[in-house]
Structure 1
Amino acid sequence: MTAEAAVEPIQVSLYGSTQSVTASIYEYRDVHGRLYQASKTTEYIFPVDEQHLQGYDLAHEYMLILFSNKFHLAPISNPQTILDIGTGTGNWAIDMATEIPSASVIGTDISAVQPTFAPPNVSFQIDDAQLDWTFEPNHFDFIHCRFLYGGIDDWAKLYRQAYTHLKPGGWFQNVEIDIETLSENPKVQNDQNHVFKTWCQLFWAVGDKTGRTMRIGRDGTMERLMKEQGFTEVVHKSYKVPIGAWAKDRKLKQVGLLNWHYIDQSLDGFAVYPMGQVLGWSREEVGELVDRMRRAIRDVRSLSYYTVKVVYGRKPEAGQ
């Protein structure tokens, strides 16, 4: 089956503006029973249906625990103008708005999947971060983005626009996943034919083919890009995130359990479009790959994990 034949556009509702969630165009594509945003600017490869969005909520919860209930690691105090790029279900933006009631928080995304009710100081806008931003330059105290891998074709432009729209002295933080699944079990880690190796290599190939790299969390790329765009005081941190409750550390055990639920219910959504529509696999082949990966992460002997990379930097004050 061709990619064109497999995609059936579904128009849920129509509105006249693209400026806010309550006045936006809701259009979705059905790909083998999973719903995908029908953006006119970015063909995003991960679904926006209820199953996948619930996974994002689980990921938000494990990130809070991982960061010791901090919403950001950048050393910014009491930011009043905050932008969350690729806000998804809006959890991070809502948490920041609740934490700092005096702040104005904007969350942008190509999908209108945010809740209808939110604190009065947070607003959601339908916007594609890959296009030229329409915000005023030098406007935000803090810009945040998380888990955009596979959705950005020009990361240097993204970082450059963040720099432009920050106030002098403002901070930018990016959090991404290195999608290679690793193992504390040498037998698994050294097996070059293991599904963990196959999985990440396939996704790297998808990123290469679409021009939206899946390697952003590797090889110091985020740190290098941030420095190249002029950010100073750049800090890079790396966190091991277990898949499953196998870690001895109590906090990592909690993180791992939530992450296991997130990955387990999201595997199909991760694979359907990239493998089927980009690489041309049949639905049956995709299902077999997902089943192999699911069995592997459910195997208590796998001791699996991946790394989360955090980079933050500061736009210098005038004259610095």
Structure 2
Amino acid sequence: MIRFEIDDAEDEWTFNEPFSFIHGRALMSCFDDPSRVVKQAYENLEPGGFIEFQDALFPMYWVGEPVKESALYRWNELLMEGLRRIGRSWSNVINYPRYFEEAGFENIVDRRFYWPTSPWAKGKYFKTVAMYFQEDMISGMEAINMKVLQATGMLPQEIKDFCEEVKRDFRDTNLHAYLTVSYIYAQKPLNKS
């Protein structure tokens, strides 16, 4: 039987029975202590159960020199500054393999993917990925940015106006930026309870 549970992963886990699969996506800065969340996931998985996180690694990278006068470049810089000011990181994904190992997981696999900001990249695969990534970012731009950019001192209307500039850059095929995304999964050993 498939059952979905939604809860605050940082709270004490009080589920009645262990899970066979725990999945998290776009967690980047959600947790004060990501390693604790991974440990709780381990404790609440049945032996042989799997955990999977899908997450992005910020800031974005560029093919060639970054276009520093672009809104996209400034956005990445401002995001990193805002996150620093509120004490969060959007680069926790680089620590996920260590968190998984420290919790006791085995068979850890970390696969990296590259998501272009627009269909500038060659090949049908990257153009398709870019289309979905672009739509996701454009539709969620204000929600993603409001709290973080306010920490830099920007006012809500400034953020809305700036988000419109960033959206334009996400559509600009002359800006060759991409996001690195990690799909990491691991298994709780069969002989652990």
* TM superposition score normalised by structure 1: 0.55
Matched, 1:199 2:75: yes
Choose between structure 1 and 2: higher helix proportion.
2
Deviating above 6 A after TM superposition, structure 1's stretches of 4 or more consecutive aligned residues are none
1:292 CA drift (Å): 3.0
Structure number with larger C-alpha Rg: 1
CA distance in 1, matches of 2:22, 2:152: 34
Partner of 1:134: 14
Of 137, 160, 165, the residue aligned with 2:39 is: 160
Distance 2:13 2:76 in 1: 32
2:29 paired with 1:150: yes
Match of 1:282 among 144, 155, 161: 155
Q: Residue 154 of structure 1 contacts residue 212 of structure 1 at CA under 8 Å; is this kept in 2? A: no
Which residue is equivalent to 1:244? 118
Alignment correspondent of 1:106: 4
Is 1:298 matched with 2:171?
yes
Structure 1 distance, partners of 2:72, 2:45, is 39
Task: Measure the CA separation in 2 of the matches of 1:195 and 1:227.
Answer: 38
Higher relative contact order (Cα pairs below 8 Å, separated by 6+ residues): 2
TM-score by length of 2: 0.88
* CA distance in structure 1 between the partners assigned to 2:81 and 2:31 by the alignment: 15
What's the CA shift for 1:192?
4.8
What is the Cα deviation at residue 274 of structure 1? 1.8
Match of 1:183 among 49, 52, 62: 62
Taking structure 1 as reference, are residues 300 and 197 closer, same or farther at Cα in structure 2, changes over 3 Å only? closer
- What's the offset of the Cα at 1:176? 0.4
**Deviation readout 1:248-301 (Å, 9 max, x if unpaired):** 22122112112212212222222222212x333212331343233223222221
Q: Deviations over 1:1-57 (max 9, x none)?
A: xxxxxxxxxxxxxxxxxxxxxxxxxxxxxxxxxxxxxxxxxxxxxxxxxxxxxxxxx
Unaligned runs of 5+ in 2: none
| Contact 1:172–1:312 (Cα < 8 Å) also in 2 | yes
Amino acid aligned to 2:89: T
Matching residue of 2:145: 271
Structure 1: gaps of 5 or more residues? 1-102, 109-126
Q: Give the letter for the 1:211 counterpart.
A: G
Rounded to whole Å, the distance in 2 between the matches of 1:269 and 1:107 is: 24
Partner of 1:29: none
Identical aligned pairs, as a percentage?
A: 24
Aligned to 1:212: 88
Task: Name the amino acid aligned to 2:12.
Answer: D
- 1:194–1:244 Cα change, 3 Å: closer
Deviation at 1:142, TM superposition (A): 1.0
Contact between 2:72 and 2:170, CA under 8 Å: does it hold in 1?
no
